[in-house]
Amino acid sequence: MTKKEKVQFVIDTLENIYPETLIPLNHKDPYTLLIAVLLSAQSTDKGVNKITPILFAKADNPYDMVKLSVEEIREIIKPAGLSPMKSKGIYGLSKILIEKHGGKVPQSFKYLEELPSVGHKTASVVMSQAFGVPAFPVDTHIHRLMYRWNLTNGKNVTQTEKDAKRLFPEELWNKLHLQIIYYGREYSPARGWNIENDIITKTIGRKSVLK
């Protein structure tokens, strides 16, 4: 199989398994998505979805969020882990959104990545899923699968993102990154992985992974 054929096999297989892709984090607008994605760092989507209804009942916009103290935010989000950093980030970015962006989440990688606790991956998720701008956020699932599929060298997430953007058509990025995440969780997890259930890796994976 050529690399081009491998890429097409991935696209076709994922589209067959996941024709519809819902964003796994509950949200209602760009701001609540931004907060949910920030909370998801080193946490599970399921865990975040338990916390956000409690947080958003008190504050689902930056104006209400800054009325809470960092300590109050921290207490609510504690189950998501890294609460000291995340609570400061949520309060800080809410303040900046009010002061610099009229309380709106900016539709810009540059301005998003300037916000506290917002890295390139978080900005990419918001740009792709809130604003429909082509992006390819790379999480641990995508990084792992791109390596297993021999479509990147696995050196770092930056390289994996470059390779994904180079190999896959831009018009598919926003849907495809979610499809890969769903596939990774269901068929190609980091632990308890059964190669027999993982049709993509079994078909196109690197030999070192298949042993």
Verify whether residue 60 is a known catalytic residue. no
Which long-range contacts link 51-55 to residues 24+ away (Cβ below 8 Å)?
A: 51/76, 51/77, 51/79, 51/80, 52/25, 52/26, 52/27, 53/26
DSSP 133: -
Q: Which residues lie closer than 8 Å to 137 by C-beta, 6 or more apart?
A: 121, 122, 124, 125, 128, 161, 177
Verify whether residue 139 is a known catalytic residue. yes
Instruction: Give the angle subtended at the CA of 134 by the CAs of 6 and 112, to the nearest 5°.
Output: 130
Q: Determine the Cα–Cα distance for residues 159 and 138; give it in Å rounded to an integer.
A: 10
- Of 60, 121, 163, 198, which residue is the catalytic one? 121
Q: What share of the chain is helix, strand, coil (3-state, %, to 5)?
A: 65, 0, 35
- Of 139, 162, 175, 202, which residue is the catalytic one? 139
Please give the positions annotated as active site.
121, 139
